[in-house]
Amino acid sequence: MRFEVRPIRVEFGAELEGFDVRDLDEQDVRKLVDVLADRGVVVARNQRLAPDEFVALMRRLGPLEYSVRDEFHLPENPDVYVISNIMENGKYIGNPFDGFGWHTDMNFCERPTAYTALYGLEVPEEGADTRFCSAFRAYDLLPEERQAFLRGIQVRHSHDMLHATRRNAPPLTAEQRARAPDVVHPLVRTHPHSGRRCVYLGPKCAVPLGMAEEEGIRLLDELLALATDPGHVYSHRWRVRDLVIWDNRGMLHCATEYDRQKYRRLLHRVTVGGERPF
Ligand SMILES: [Fe+2]
């Protein structure tokens, strides 16, 4: 199979045409990795993906990752994490609330997520878009002196701080906390394939070291505003059987709200672990 790549925005994003996960040879997988490094986020429509097939696809991109939270894994395939507002027997079958607010996945880990993939099984007719923007672009926009200054800054990322912002989430157990201690990452990270630099942000859960807390938060807010400029955002409007994969080592994303009383939403998610940011 040879799939085609159609840019979504000038700066980032690509739609894959003629893409079929059942028919990917090694050359296709290498091309997918290259497109992810180059375009940050890819969309493939009309994919028919059973959980096992979804997991098998993502394994080809690297070692799978297991979420810190245990309650929303697909019982028959724990490598698949479920995002949903659907209730069964008085309980949500997936995580209904996470992801609102710009972020990159698992930034609070020593080796944060490289790739995140979502697959749409049930999607609301309106709302629930997933938004993307480029942290490469934010870095590229800065004057050289500013870039050099930022390259010298380290940032503490904290899962405890992030968890405190979650809605309806029970307190973390001691074991869950021990699994995610605070970590320090550079504020500017380098993409391991392309060598391109981006600002590595952890909104609401990161504090730059070596400066007053207020000043540090102001700095991160300023960089976040630059990255998330509404004129440079791709908002993915979900259709059933969409597969969306992004590279967290350069893209920020956020979920958006929808009418939870009116619509059902069911997405499967599989994530691939990455390297220590450098
Ligand atoms: Fe996320």
pLDDT of residue 67: 64
* Ligand 1 geometric centre to CA of 147 (Å): 26
- Number of domains making up the chain: 1
How, if at all, do strands 266-273 and 113-122 pair?
antiparallel
pLDDT per residue as tens digits for the range 80-115: 999 999 999 999 999 988 788 999 999 999 999 999
* Ligand 1 geometric centre to CA of 174 (Å): 23
* Ligand 1 geometric centre to CA of 114 (Å): 12
* Ligand 1 geometric centre to CA of 104 (Å): 6
Question: In the predicted model, is pLDDT for residue 68 greater than 60?
Answer: no
Single-letter amino acid code for the residue at 80: V
* Ligand 1 geometric centre to CA of 180 (Å): 16
Instruction: Judge whether 278 lies within some domain.
Output: no
Instruction: Judge whether 97 lies within some domain.
Output: yes
pLDDT per residue as tens digits for the range 202-231: 888 889 999 998 999 999 999 999 999 999
pLDDT of residue 209: 95
* Ligand 1 geometric centre to CA of 145 (Å): 31
Single-letter amino acid code for the residue at 245: I
* φ/ψ (deg, to 5) at 27: -65, -40
The range of the structural domain enclosing residue 72 comes to 4-273
* Ligand 1 geometric centre to CA of 252 (Å): 8
pLDDT of residue 1: 67
**CATH number, domain containing residue 99:** 3.60.130.10
- pTM value is 0.94
CA distance 179 to 156: 16
Longest dimension (CA), the chain: 57
* Ligand 1 geometric centre to CA of 99 (Å): 5
The residue that leads in pLDDT, 161 or 265, is 265
Q: What percent of the chain has pLDDT over 70?
A: 98
Instruction: Judge whether 119 lies within some domain.
Output: yes
Instruction: Judge whether 130 lies within some domain.
Output: yes
